[in-house]
Amino acid sequence: MMPVAGRVAPSPPGLQHGQPGGGTTSAKGNPLILIVENDPEVPPGVLESLLVEADRKPRIVRPHGGDPAGSLAGVDGLVVLGGTMSTRDTRPFPFLRDVKRLMASALQAQIPLLGICLGGQLLAEVSGGEVTQSSHGEHGLHDIVLSAEGRSDPLFTGLPERFTVFQWHGDSFTPPRSAVLLAGSPACAHQAFRVGRTAYGLQFHPEVDPPIVSAWAAGSPSSSRILEAFAEYRRNGLDRAAHQLLKNFIRMIP
């Protein structure tokens, strides 16, 4: 997401970095999915309800508000959401260092991981890639195209080679050489990648719902156009592809 002028970063305590080795289904039965909300303006959207429908247990932590949570003990899946800050903004947002360490631990433990927008950029950095500021920005609805590897990847099972997603970013990532590029677009060549077996970074936002889009578009000169296009997108059922992607990731969580 683009930075919001005038925001003052909170000074929460750091996340308590857990030891690798999560991924064991909790004794309560339902798999536990840790959702890291980096910014109050970027909530989980439809992801939370999709997890509940799939008998997964979401646990949302909000380090932007001072949550100290961050251990992977008993965690079966990790989702790191977006934010209006940059991956480099560790001075005003010191918790980002702890989120990076948490993601690195999930990679080491091979816990299914999904990074969305800022979360995808953080994953790129953690795994050896790069993030370029104010580069290849996109806002509103745009098509992405799957690579040959993306067409056969389980994250995109049941999806067409080309489909429409909601974008809201200024920065963009370059995945590490070890990653598999899964999707791109004419405006932004790197839209999705995989590191290892089940760690995914996305540049776009499959989780958005009407309240989120309304809030983000409120400060845009193209607000009316963005909202009308998103409403038509939903009326035509085109958001099903984004939701299917999330469902595919959820199925990877045992």
Residue 92 lies in a domain: yes
| Lookup result for tokens 């949570």 | 69
* Model pLDDT, residue 22: 41
| Lookup result for tokens 């370029």 | 132
Query: Of 160, 150, 124, nearest to 241 (Cα)?
Result: 160
Torsion, Cα 40 181 130 85, to 10 degrees, reads -10
Range 161-189 average pLDDT: 95
Give 53-64 pLDDT, tens digit per residue.
999 999 999 999
* Model pLDDT, residue 70: 72
Q: Considering 64, 136, 169, 205, which one is annotated as catalytic?
A: 205
Q: Considering 64, 117, 125, 188, which one is annotated as catalytic?
A: 117
Give 141-164 pLDDT, tens digit per residue.
999 999 999 999 999 999 999 999
* Contact (Cβ atoms closer than 8 angstroms) between residue 146 and residue 159: yes
Residue 220 lies in a domain: yes
**Residue 188 a catalytic site member:** no
C-alpha distances out from residue 103 to 45, 84, 111, Å: 21, 19, 9
* Model pLDDT, residue 154: 98
Of the pLDDT bands very low, low, confident and very high (cuts 50, 70, 90), residue 133 is confident
| pLDDT for 30 beyond 70 | yes
Residue 16 lies in a domain: no
Residue 141 lies in a domain: yes
* Model pLDDT, residue 254: 84
Query: Of 122, 115, 128, nearest to 101 (Cα)?
Result: 122
Residue 138 lies in a domain: yes
**Residue 207 a catalytic site member:** yes
DSSP 196-219: TTTEEEESS-TT--HHHHHHHHTT
Domain that holds residue 45: 32-251
Residue 22 lies in a domain: no
Query: Of 131, 7, 18, 127, nearest to 64 (Cα)?
Result: 7
* Model pLDDT, residue 28: 54
User: Total domain count for the chain?
Assistant: 1
Residue 127 lies in a domain: yes
| pLDDT for 5 beyond 90 | no
Residue 19 lies in a domain: no
Give Cβ neighbours of residue 253 (< 8 Å, ≥ 6 apart).
31, 33, 56, 76, 77, 112
CATH number of the domain encompassing residue 39: 3.40.50.880
* Model pLDDT, residue 3: 41
More reliable by pLDDT, 254 or 118: 118
Q: Considering 37, 125, 138, 207, which one is annotated as catalytic?
A: 207
Give 65-118 pLDDT, tens digit per residue.
999 657 899 999 999 999 999 999 999 999 999 999 999 999 999 999 999 999
| pLDDT for 233 beyond 50 | yes
* Contact (Cβ atoms closer than 8 angstroms) between residue 245 and residue 155: yes
Give 198-220 pLDDT, tens digit per residue.
999 999 999 999 999 999 999 88
**What's the predicted TM-score (pTM) here?**
0.89
